[in-house]
Structure 1
Amino acid sequence: MYREWAPVPKLAGRVVCVWTQEATSAGTQPVVPDGCVDLIWGPEGPQVAGPDTGPMPVLMSPGDRYAGVRFRPGKVGEVFGVPVDALRDLRVPLSELDVLTELTTETLLETSAVRPDRAGDTRQAPAMTPESIVGAMQRALAVRMRATPEPDPAAAAIAAALRTGRSVGEVAWELGLGERQLHRRSLRSFGYGPKMLQRVVRFQRALRLARLGVTPAEVAVASGYADQAHLANEVRRLAGMSLSRLVGRP
């Protein structure tokens, strides 16, 4: 079962949501490119999921529990201590990044340990649940964000301009940038260049429309694909499956 909700106000400008998930049966969870970076705590501990350029399916077993914080596209900045493109198509254990070192299983277990209260009686602190892990991650990220530079303020404008379907050259001209400068800023903000970013935002628009019940032919036109076949081929490249299967349609 999957749940997501709004982050704490301190993170709202840079985090799109926090989420938890518990697997009730064995299966494979499709994960497709969305331009986001997630901090995830799963069965193997905390890790960072970088921006994807293709399908990254997750094999789940019954009882597996996950908790996550999802950054808005272009908003992760230097929170994890490495350039965003260094995380592209990777799942990196948090311990390898030398940041947020307070987020360890041992630390969270210590906060959940039995300890005496003022009257001398023992009291059980709240158990280490996905929700409590989400809370700990948000607190740690809020501190970390204050200590790192703000992300590129032009990131949102870059993504919005590319979403219109105009060429990279046209977008660069509109934003008053050279194409090389646009590429560098896109890479630094999103983890990949403007052409890949354009493919991702177009794919995500198509996915949103398909989930609303719009027909594939209409989705293709509204999302800027040449035709339905172009849409189908691009979805298979980015998601590893057909659009109908991805949105759960027969």
Structure 2
Amino acid sequence: MGRVYTERPARLDGAVVWALTSPPVAEEPVPVLPDGCMDLLWCDGRLLVAGPDTFAYLPEGGPSRYAGIRFAPGDAPALLGVPASALRDRRVELGALWGEARARRLAERVSAAPDPAAALEELAVRRAADAPAPDPLIRAVAGRLAAGRPVAETADAVGLGARRLHRRSLDAFGYGPKTLARILRLQRALSLVRAGVPYADAALRAGCADQAHLARETRALAGTTLSAYASAWAKRETPQPSGSSTTA
């Protein structure tokens, strides 16, 4: 039996609860692609945070059971109490952010639950009740960039200058709006590729200049070629996480 991955909408707006079970026999690791999100993870008894990635992350094995809650772009920093830029391209033990004793108690609670994913979701919901609400301006930025709107137009639409938007984006997303726009554009394109859309059409529909542009972005951000990505996806028996989900 291969990897089994499931996901569902979370009780937090825009978030996703997911679970992944890997087989006891090692398989070729599945790269985790950048998606502009951050995750709170439970990994065989440990609680960690996966920060926003700027390139493909390749797990190195280890835990066989994972659960996670993937937050909408820009929502996690207020809940976790740390700017996203501090966690960029990192997997960090929750104890480093919330204290070792507290993180250990929470990990034990999640591990003892019949459904660790549901327990992790409950943890996040309770934390969110005491945290600042998601910033509507940041959500507007993420929404416009996800829809393919230009960065300059987005800055004007939300009433921020380019420098202020960049500073706000570093705290919220972990990188500037241009990098977030590239990552979200690649996600749009690869979603079309997974649906069987020809590469050239997927590139144009996602907002790339042409197929060559999409090929360069796939190499730079996903660490692979379009054909290799499409081939690997076709071989999967079940969907796998495309975002900042798993950890070593």
TM-score range, shorter chain: 0.7 to 0.9
Whole-Å separation in 1 of the counterparts to 2:225 and 2:54: 17
Whole-Å separation in 2 of the counterparts to 1:224 and 1:55: 21
What residue in structure 1 maps to residue 80 of structure 2? 80
Whole-Å separation in 2 of the counterparts to 1:92 and 1:40: 10
2:136 matches 1:156: no
How do residues 1-250 of structure 1 correspond to structure 2 at under 5 angstroms? 1-7=4-10, 9=11, 11=12, 13-15=13-15, 17-24=16-23, 25-26=25-26, 27-43=28-44, 45-60=46-61, 64-98=64-98, 101=103, 102-105=105-108, 107-108=109-110, 112=112, 128=113, 132-163=115-146, 165-247=148-230, 248-249=233-234
What residue in structure 2 maps to residue 118 of structure 1? none
Whole-Å separation in 2 of the counterparts to 1:221 and 1:156: 25
Partners of 2:41 and 2:66 within 8 A in 1? yes
Partners of 2:67 and 2:120 within 8 A in 1? no
Deviation at 1:246, TM superposition (A): 2.2
Greater fraction of residues in strand: 1
Deviation at 1:175, TM superposition (A): 2.5
Whole-Å separation in 2 of the counterparts to 1:104 and 1:159: 31
Provide TM-score, normalisation by structure 2. 0.83
Whose RCO is larger (CA < 8 A, sep 6+)?
2
SS of equivalent to 1:77: helix
Residue 163 to residue 71, structure 1, CA distance change in 2 (3 Å): closer
SS of equivalent to 2:76: coil
Greater fraction of residues in helix: 2
Partners of 2:44 and 2:65 within 8 A in 1? yes
Deviation at 1:44, TM superposition (A): 6.6
Whole-Å separation in 2 of the counterparts to 1:158 and 1:23: 36
Partners of 2:34 and 2:55 within 8 A in 1? yes
Deviation at 1:85, TM superposition (A): 1.3
For residues 38-77 of structure 1, the C-alpha deviation after alignment (integer angstroms, 9 at most, x for no partner) is 111114711100111001011336x811111111112213
Provide TM-score, normalisation by structure 1. 0.82
Deviation at 1:161, TM superposition (A): 2.6
- CA RMSD for the aligned pairs? 2.1
For residues 184-234 of structure 1, the C-alpha deviation after alignment (integer angstroms, 9 at most, x for no partner) is 222222111111011011011001111110000101111111111111011
The count of residues paired between Structure 1 and Structure 2 equals: 225
Whole-Å separation in 2 of the counterparts to 1:163 and 1:21: 26
Whole-Å separation in 2 of the counterparts to 1:40 and 1:217: 36
Partners of 1:163 and 1:198 within 8 A in 2? yes
For residues 157-206 of structure 1, the C-alpha deviation after alignment (integer angstroms, 9 at most, x for no partner) is 21233345454323212322111111122222211111101101101100
Partners of 2:200 and 2:210 within 8 A in 1? yes
Percent identity of paired positions between Structure 1 and Structure 2: 44
Residue 156 to residue 22, structure 1, CA distance change in 2 (3 Å): same
SS of equivalent to 1:28: coil
- One-letter amino acid of the counterpart of residue 139, structure 1: E
